Structure 1
Amino acid sequence: MLQSVDGFWISASVFTGTFSNSYFHFIGSPGQNVYATISLSGVDHYSTEPDMERHATAYIARWTAWGPDGKLFAPSPNSMGRTQNAVAIRDCASIEFRLDVENWVVATAQINIFQF
């Protein structure tokens, strides 16, 4: 049974170089199963040099889960790298979402967390 749905936005912008913004969501009690997603909802880039590489990537970086003994498991890095944009986690304890941008990019990402 669906218990809650939370939605958040994160944004990131950078002129030269790279920048990462993250959102860390902690779930305080064991027994919460989670399905979470992140997706780019807006990207703007400003051309300064025609051959300058630009990018924006939204992904789930890592998560933790509660063990049967009530203690946290070590963080679980995702296995898909920057393409991990959805995950289902049993007994979720925490989840980290990231938004990476590079070279004159402004981006916004939508995060959805369904607890059941």
Structure 2
Amino acid sequence: MALYAVAPLRGVEHLVLDDLAAYAQDRGWTVPAGCAVSDAGPLNQAPAVRAGWQKVRAAATGRLVHGVVVPSFPHIAYRPADWDTERSWLLEQGLFVVATVPTELQAGLGPGELRA
């Protein structure tokens, strides 16, 4: 597994990666050396200009990892067009992605509300 996150400020990346590492460890997933990477800056930065995300892509292309753990999917790509591109690439590589925290995409109507 690769671990990936975007931290808002330099110097705090390890805090997010530590949480992702614990999540992976709880599931018995192995994270190869060099595959816990992060970028600093805003989430809306294009994935193509993020050095850390490019390392994840290289590890996946080299078949070093089979999945990616992120705090939420916007850490990979914030803009819908960027997400479509990255999602297509992830599928082409046969990778799965696990988000460790709930995202806005999971918010919606509950079963009781659907009957109203």
Question: If the length of structure 2 is used for normalisation, what is the TM-score?
Answer: 0.26
Higher strand content, 1 or 2: 1
Question: If the length of structure 1 is used for normalisation, what is the TM-score?
Answer: 0.26
Q: Flag the structure with larger Rg.
A: 1
- Higher relative CO (Cα under 8 Å, sequence separation at least 6) belongs to 1
Higher helix content, 1 or 2: 2
